[in-house]
Amino acid sequence: MNSGVLYALLAYTAWGLFPAFFKLLGHVNPFEVVMHRMLWSLLFLLCVLTVLRRWAWLRDVARQPRVLAAFGLSALLLSVNWSVYVWALQNAHVVDASLGYFILPLVNAAFGFAFLKERPSPVQWLAVAVAGAGVLWLTLQAGRLPWVALVLAFTFGIYGLLRKVAALGALEGLTLETLLFAPFSLGLLLWWAWHGQGALVQGDAPTMGWLLLAGPLTAVPLLLFAAGARRIPMATLGVLQYISPSLQMGLGVWLYGEAFDPARAIGFYLIWLALVIYSLDSLWNSRKPLLKPSSVVG
């Protein structure tokens, strides 16, 4: 239990500090950053699989077209999510990105009800409604949908849904996703280089170093998360996950000076209230003692 909490804390802290890292690559096209992130993540994961000698699954998966198609779709969703996320961090939308991951648990609850026959409690439905009111307020206050937050929440929510019903674990699944996307990533990077564009031909040594580092920084938190998720209850994991968007938001407001005026704060307060309601209800349900059948005296 204690090691599981530590693994989860490390994973969510790393994700929460991602804005500071991707700001260093602010001069590189966000989509190009994602292509490098895919390739170097794959290289790192292949090294991990080699050390662990876990290759048997790949031979089995290669004979299952439906599994390959499902992971191809999850790879596409992941690339869209990463592209929007990196763009948001590079273009002074760190707070909007954090909002997406505050909304994500409630999106997951709605998807669980719609697709997995899960039945949220009335209190959890109240939390979803309060969060919806917060998003509506932010939309009315800004005069437009908070599209960055919604795209991040829904693409990762759908991605999580696909991974929940997938046949592979975290390490193997991420390896297959990056492997399926690698030909496109490599081809696009070589195309840019052939035309004298992109970091491969224009980037200096520090830029290439940061891009190479993006691989392990992508894979290691995910592996820590997977290790933590196996050791602690989902309710505990659900509460810990708010560390990441909280850190992101703190960086956006206090380090990068993004706007957080009182009118906008009302929408965030509603979403935070929804998260408090949802988390307390989840913790309460997880700690309910199992009811034992009483003996009948006759």
Lowest mean pLDDT among 21-35, 53-67, 70-84, 273-287: 273-287
pTM: 0.84
Highest mean pLDDT: which range of 133-137, 178-182, 261-265, 267-271: 178-182
- 49: nearest Cα among 218, 169, 172, 163: 172
Answer yes or no: is pLDDT of 289 > 70.
no
Q: What are phi and psi of 291, to 5 degrees?
A: -80, 125
Q: What is the pLDDT of residue 145?
A: 83
Q: Is the dihedral of CA 203, 206, 212, 214 positive or negative?
A: negative
* Mean pLDDT value across residues 31-58: 92
Task: Using the predicted structure, report yes or no on whether residue 294 has a pLDDT greater than 70.
Answer: no
pLDDT tens for 222-266 read 888 877 777 776 556 666 778 888 899 889 999 898 888 888 889
Looking at every residue in the chain, the average pLDDT score rounds to 85
| CA pair distance 68, 49, nearest whole angstrom | 19
| Residue 224 CB-density burial (10 A; 0-12 exposed, 13-18 middle, 19+ buried) | buried
What span, in angstroms and rounded, lies between the C-alpha atoms of 296 and 60? 53
Q: What's the pLDDT at 286?
A: 63
pLDDT at 19 over 60: yes
In the predicted model, is pLDDT for residue 49 greater than 80? yes
What's the confidence (pLDDT) of residue 1?
A: 53
Q: Which of 187, 189, 191, 162 is nearest to 177 (CA)?
A: 162
pLDDT higher than threshold 60 for residue 160: yes
Q: Please report, rounded to a whole number, the percentage of residues in the chain having pLDDT higher than 90.
A: 36
pLDDT value of residue 233: 66
For tokens 């991951």, the residue is: 101
The amino acid present at 120, given as its one-letter code, is P
Task: Determine the pLDDT at residue 86.
Answer: 93
Classify each residue of 138-160 as buried b or exposed e, where b means 16 or more C-beta atoms within 10 Å of its C-beta.
Answer: beeeeeeebebbbbbbbbbbbbb
How large is the angle between the packed helices 205-229 and 30-52, nearest 10 degrees?
60
